Amino acid sequence: MRKQLEMTSNTADDLSKEVSWIRMVASEFVRSKVNVVALGLFIISVLTALFAPTVAPHDPLSQDLMKRLLPPAWIGEGTGEHILGTDTVGRDVLSRVVFGARISMGIGLTSATIAGIFGVLMGLISGFFGRGISDLIMRITDAQLSFPFIIVAITIAAVVGSGLWKLIIILTLWGWAPFARVARSSVLSLKEREFILASRALGAHELRIMFFHILPNILSAVVVIWTFTLAQMILAESTLSFLGFGIQPPTPSWGEMLTTGRQYISSAWWLSIFPGVSIMLTVLAVNLLGDGLRDALDPNLRV
Amino acid sequence: MTQTGSSDHTALQPLLQVKDLRTHFFTRDGVVQAVDGVDLTIQHNEIIGLVGESGCGKSVTALSIMRLLDHPGRIVSGEVTFDGTSILDLSEREMVDLRGSRISMIFQQPQSSLNPIFSVGEQIAEMFQIHQGMHKAAALDKAISLLCEVGIPDASTRAKSYPHQMSGGQAQRVMIAIALALNPELLIADEPTTALDVTVQAQILDLIRDLSRRINTAVLLITHELGVIAEMADRVAVMYAGRILETAHTKDLFAKSSHPYTQGLINSIPVLGKVEKRLNVIPGSVPNLVELPDGCRFAPRCQARREYDLEICNEQEPDLVLIGNGHKVRCWLHQSSEGRQVPLATDGGNES
């Protein structure tokens, strides 16, 4: 009973502390209007992706050849039924953009997160342990960063084929190197800081120093890279799908929609403009979010 | 002030004994002999001052005792015995357990010694969590009471502050709270007040002295200021170029300093109100620790050697010899060798 009481008081304490920290970061974050707008756009993208079946007015795959290439609702023959018009086989563009968000955000978030965890771990190991492992990991990242992404991705896709999970793996393999680099260089500079020596002098063991003292200190940098990587992943997914190595039709993805839209750009601009604008807004929002987070998370900027 | 149990103990063996410690740094330019044959004894509950110029090996001595040297530094030889156990033979695991709980250390820059992203309360609490496996809430309570003890007003609110929100003096108080949290037997204070305002310095020194006396902690106080030593230490060891040149009770050191280097240090303290054209200094600077002189390390700068025109100083190094009650000095002025004339072997040699 007593133990239970202790436990509850403990978690309550932790919770209140957690809340105050979040509140502190949040109040710093919302100071800038740009941050709020970016966060709003990001949330809209995520929600759209999550609730795509509810949000989309039509089935993104259902074709209706009678209604092919209808323009958006506010132009000529456009109808309220298909607000953003229809494509070459009469599929609703809005619904396809909405479901495309699911693919883009899903692939982006998953691969950026896996790449982040893997990269940071590699960076920590490389920064913390002896020269042998460190050099090995860094040479791998060098090799990684010196390959042109598109060529590597096309090669891998040509060998293993394309598909959702294969795409995620390709993107992860491509995206972890910057995390490892940044984590390593932060570890190397943090290691020389006096508080690391002090915590060693006060009896903290190496693993504790690595995960408790160093990792939290590099998290803000990691979060920022994560957002930028997320933006790049979304772009990369679109690029690969645009080139035909990513998501295969008929599954809707923004890149794939651009490919088909490209041929009709002079007659039916809505086929490519809407997925294009979606890509642009999402990537912009995520990038701005990264900037905002970087400023808000840095405790040294807090007053 | 001394516990009965521990005073019995004192008679048996010193708390820390360093014998012929040599720590070298293997750099590209050669072997830097940062600590080269240091002998040091610290008794229970004693405050001992280690004084010397910058770069003479004081901090490296401390880090060697803690076994916190990084590449390319390495303890080459010597013995460090803490409470009967040889520290240099312990496994890294045992050493980790020892640090913080039985030997603690505080540093020169208090604000950068604290982790910038955790509140000071959490950082004090961490000591109880790591070493005693205490729950976070209980550890935080203890942290707050420790903050009170080191003289931080409104401790429960201040516990939530981050290091950058504190002044240097307050941050050093926090460091002291962390270092003394588990009542260690030895506190190594590496220039604890050098980075602080003069007015704050005295408060911090008082705090270290009072707390260490109260919880029976011995203190190894590393400093380059003799003023700090005079105020705090029971005994002093004067270090120069990796060696101990003189060790004595604080009173004796100031009254009858015997090594020309110590005398030079004491004379170079400016006296308040006494205006001199030039400040007294020891000419020259600490020798290159890669290529040390053959004889006495201080010989190239030594005024007394020139006055007495001693040849031997440049040829052979003197030993650390006993010249009085607990007063040892490493100087040819006080040591006879093969029937050689010893100018000052009999008297205290203060009037050179």
Query: Is position B88 within any domain?
Result: yes
Chain-centre distance of CA B300, in angstroms?
25
C-beta atoms of B178 and A202 within 8 A: yes
Q: Which of A158, A120, A154, A153 is nearest to A137 (CA)?
A: A120
Q: With 70 as the cut, is the pLDDT of residue A15 above it? A: no
B72 and B207 share one domain: yes
**Cβ–Cβ gap B175/A204 under 8 Å:** no
Contact A194 B107 (CB under 8 A): yes
A24 against B1, higher pLDDT: A24
For residues B277 and B225, state if they share a domain: no
On whether the CB atoms of residues B174 and A197 are closer than 8 A, the answer is: no
User: Helix A93-128 crosses helix A164-191 at what angle (to 10 degrees)?
Assistant: 40
How far A199 CA lies from chain B's nearest CA (Å)? 8
pLDDT in tens, A255-289: 888 888 888 888 888 888 888 898 899 889 988 98
Question: pLDDT value at position A302?
Answer: 52
Q: A157-210: per-residue pLDDT in tens?
A: 788 777 788 888 888 888 888 899 999 988 888 888 889 999 999 988 888 888
All domains of chain A in start order, with CATH: 106-241+270-301 (1.10.3720.10)
Whether residues B60 and B141 share a domain: the answer is: yes
Tell whether the model's pLDDT for residue A8 goes beyond 80: no
Q: Look up tokens 């990038």; give the residue.
A: A287
Q: What is the mean pLDDT of residues A92-107?
A: 86
Element (H, E) at B264: helix B260-267
Q: For residue A12, what pLDDT is reported?
A: 44
- Residue A14 with chain B: CB contacts under 8 Å: 136
Cβ–Cβ under 8 Å, residues B110 and B175: yes
Looking at the fold, whether B273 and B140 belong to one and the same domain comes out as: no
Say if B254 falls within a structural domain. no
Radius of gyration of chain A (CA): 23
Same domain as B136, residue B64: yes
| Domain end call among B240, B259, B283 | B240
Chain A nearest C-alpha distance from B137 (Å): 6
d(CA B195, CA A192): 19
B 80-109 near A (Cβ less than 8 A): 93, 96-101, 104-107, 109
Q: Please check whether residue B272 touches A, CB under 8 A.
A: no
Cβ of A213 within 8 Å of Cβ of B113? The answer is no
Identify residues of A whose CB sits under 8 angstroms from chain B CBs. Answer: 6, 9-10, 13-14, 193-195, 197-205, 208, 213, 216-217, 299-300
The domain total for chain B is: 2
Q: What is the pLDDT of residue B333?
A: 84
In a domain, B134, yes or no: yes
Q: A42-73 pLDDT, tens per residue? A: 898 888 888 878 877 888 777 777 777 777 77
pLDDT at position A225 over 80: yes
Whether A205 sits inside 8 A of B96 (CB atoms) is: yes
Residues B229 and B287 both lie in one domain: no
**Is residue A119 predicted with pLDDT exceeding 90?**
yes
User: Is B351 inside any structural domain?
Assistant: no
Among A13-17, A114-118, B42-46, B205-209, name the one with the lowest average pLDDT: A13-17
Q: Is residue A250 over pLDDT 70?
A: yes
> Could you tell me if B194 and B276 lie in one domain?
no
Nearest to A198 among B113, B130, B138 (CB): B113
* Residue B113 belongs to some domain of the structure: yes
Residue B248 within any structural domain of the chain: no
Give pLDDT, residue B235: 94
**Cα A49 to Cα A38, A227, B26, distances in angstroms:** 17, 17, 59
Instruction: Check B107 against A199: CB less than 8 A apart.
Output: no
Residues B212 and B272 both lie in one domain: no
- Helical residues (DSSP H) of chain A, grouped into ranges: 2-29, 33-50, 52-55, 93-128, 131-146, 149-160, 164-191, 194-201, 206-208, 215-243, 254-262, 270-297
Query: Closest partner residue to B117 among A10, A203, A217, by Cβ?
Result: A217
Domain assignment of residue B342, yes or no:
no
B10/B109 same-domain check: yes
Q: Are residues B72 and B145 in the same domain?
A: yes
Instruction: Answer whether B112 touches A (CB < 8 Å).
Output: yes
CA atoms within a 13 Å half-sphere pointing along the CA-CB vector of A250: 13
- Concatenating the DSSP letter of every residue in B123-161 gives HHHHHHHHHH---HHHHHHHHHHHHHHTT-SSHHHHTT-
Are B203 and B297 in a shared domain? no
Which residue of A19, A202, A222, A223 to mutate against B (max B Cβ within 10 Å)?
A: A202
Q: Does any domain span residue B247?
A: no
Beta-bridge mates of residue B79: B19
> Which of B117, B124, B127, B182 would you mutate first to test chain A, the one with the most A CBs within 10 A?
B117
Write out the two tokens for B253: 């050191």
| Set of chain A residues whose Cβ sits within 8 Å of the Cβ of B115 | 195, 199, 213, 217
Give the domain extent around B273.
268-334
Which two structure tokens, joined as six digits, stand for A295?
A: 């400023």
Tell me which residues of chain B have a pLDDT lower than 70.
1-12, 336-352
Is the domain of B278 the same as that of B208?
no
CATH code, B183: 3.40.50.300
